[in-house]
Amino acid sequence: MCPAGKKKRKTGYMPIGLFRRIIDQLANKDIVCLSLHKLGEPLLHPRIAEMISYAKEKRIKHVRFATNATLLTAELGREIIDADLDSITFSIDALSGQRYCPAGDRKNIFTRLDRNISTFIKLRNKKGKKPKIFMQIITMEETKDIIKQFIKKWAGIADDVMVKNVLSWAGEFNFGNRKQINRRLLCMNHLSQGVVNWDGKVSTCCLFDNNAGDIDGIIGDARKNSLDEIFYGTKRLELIISQLKGNYKSVPHCMRCPDWNDYLDRFRPARGSLQT
């Protein structure tokens, strides 16, 4: 369900200097949440703890990321707790190695990440209440029969369990079961999100992969312009106006994307506990 690796993309680590420049620009703005992930595994970044610390020093209200936990050693866990992370989402979608990676003998990977998460929860509990810990499972054919068990396993251990809809990643995947409402509306991602990729390229949607060759969704480059110049600039404005006028073709990845109509799911509070 994840497009990382599906296409040949240029990958890399955001340079710390660029990260600091971005955070400095956000420091006095009313940013609701800073997510340190997009199409990559945040724990791969060798300076992730330093990045969290820097963002918190600059008083960003809520710093978070989602991870698959495979690299979360006890040492790294202590570092990110000490860095004052606000919340962490463990996205694993399975209860066993067999389900996690059915194509190969990857049982050990699952055993390790399961242990990593348990160790992290113990470390967090010892230290206090931060970061909040969320367990996440995505509803798909492969998971629908284990969702109740998943909630049961983690409820009361994690701070909450989130059950999310599968996304198409701007039309990369066709799951064929997406709900659609009759009339298409402007996608709220254009109004509510700002996404800076590792290489500084900026878009308005966390699902859109600029390295897939669709450059129409790129509204600027944080290495060359300030975030104000980019987000109040003509490219974003034109994009919003064209969608308000019903011209969704102006942004090809939006045209093929069904994810716009359930954007609200991404703002809803965790709901696993509601489903038990």
Residue among 157 and 191 whose Cβ is closer to ligand SF4: 191
Q: How far is the CB of 204 from ligand SF4 (least distance, A)?
A: 6
Q: Give the number of other CB atoms < 10 A from CB of residue 159.
A: 19
Closest CA to 227 of 263, 266, 193: 193
Residue among 166 and 207 whose Cβ is closer to ligand SF4: 207
Structure tokens at 165: 């809809």
Residue among 196 and 205 whose Cβ is closer to ligand SF4: 205
- Coil, helix or strand for 34? strand
Contacts made by residues 157-160, CB under 8 angstroms, sequence distance 24+ = 157/121, 158/90, 158/121, 158/133, 158/134, 159/87, 159/132, 159/133, 159/134, 159/270, 160/132, 160/134, 160/135, 160/269, 160/270, 160/272, 160/273
Q: How far is the CB of 263 from ligand SF4 (least distance, A)?
A: 6
Q: How far is the CB of 264 from ligand SF4 (least distance, A)?
A: 12
Residue among 35 and 70 whose Cβ is closer to ligand SF4: 35
Cβ pair 220, 202 in contact under 8 A: yes
Q: How far is the CB of 165 from ligand SF4 (least distance, A)?
A: 12
Residue among 56 and 190 whose Cβ is closer to ligand SF4: 190
Q: How far is the CB of 44 from ligand SF4 (least distance, A)?
A: 24
Query: In the complex, which residues of this chain contact ligand SF4 (CB under 6 A)?
Result: 170, 187, 189-190, 205, 207-208, 253-254, 257, 259-260
